[in-house]
Amino acid sequence: MVPPQADTTRAMAVLELLAQHFSDEEYLGERKDWRWTSDTRAMSKLNSLRENLMKVELEIEARNANPKLHHRLGPAMLPYTLLIPSSGGEGLTFRGVPNSISM
């Protein structure tokens, strides 16, 4: 059975709100406050993670641009972006891996 249009519209609005990226969100490898630790080993590990995440992002973008991998775009011809580590800004960006998720 198909739900009433009002219920579907309400559910779509809630899902869109939950999927929004906000300016105060932190993404994998990001820290807005660099005073979170004074441990140089932890900072070194974070910097290493950030370098690896940049490599991942570049690899995803290179694969999206490779015409031999056209199947990655799907029938809608949209590039794969869901696991690109950086957000790309506020709103619905279809990319970015947050440090944590709560709903």
Segment 10-61, tens digit of pLDDT: 999 998 888 777 777 888 888 877 778 888 998 899 899 999 999 999 999 9
pLDDT category, 72, cuts 50, 70, 90?
low
User: How many domains does the chain divide into?
Assistant: 1
Select from 60, 85, 56, 86 the least CA-distant residue to 73.
60
Q: Which pLDDT score is estimated for 103?
A: 61
Is residue 89 included in any domain, yes or no?
Answer: yes
Q: Which pLDDT score is estimated for 10?
A: 94
Amino acid found at 94: F
The end-to-end CA distance of the chain, in Å, is 27
Select from 76, 42, 83, 40 the least CA-distant residue to 61.
83
Is residue 80 included in any domain, yes or no?
Answer: yes
Is residue 2 included in any domain, yes or no?
Answer: no
Is residue 85 included in any domain, yes or no?
Answer: yes
Residue range of the domain that includes 78: 26-103
pLDDT category, 102, cuts 50, 70, 90?
low
Q: Chain centroid to CA 71: how far?
A: 21
Helix (H, G, I), strand (E, B) or coil at 95: coil
Q: What is the pTM of this model?
A: 0.70
